[in-house]
Amino acid sequence: MSSVKKNIFVACGSGVATSQTVASKIASMCEDEGLNVNVEAVDIKSLENIIDQCDIYVSIVSAGHDFGKPTINGIAFLTGVGIDEEFEKLKEYVNS
């Protein structure tokens, strides 16, 4: 288990409704697993300026390019389809 708190950024078009919903879901699931994370919903436009503070990126909309960060499919946390696989990936990134 990693003792370093990992920053997870969840980005959608506006940084409001969808990313907040997904960030809240991920934060809750991580808390249930005892993972040391900080989950933040951000606006896709501000992502480029803060990506260096991010350990894991959860994408809801395409940013149009790769930020060089471990990336998780945020849609899975909205729809529930593929959520277990994406959460497993997230846990691996957090614990690495």
pLDDT tens column, 67-77:
899 999 999 99
pLDDT tops 60 at residue 20: yes
Q: Say which CATH topology domain 6-95 has.
A: Rossmann fold (3.40.50)
Closest CA to 60 of 43, 36, 48: 43
pTM above 0.85, yes or no: yes
For residues 34 and 16, give the distance between their C-alpha atoms in angstroms, rounded to a whole number: 26
Q: Which residue stretches of 34-74 are H helix?
A: 44-50
- Give the CA distances from residue 12 to residues 22, 34, 36, in Å, rounded to whole numbers and listed in that order: 10, 26, 23
List the one residue out of 20, 22, 96, 3 whose CA is nearest residue 55: 96
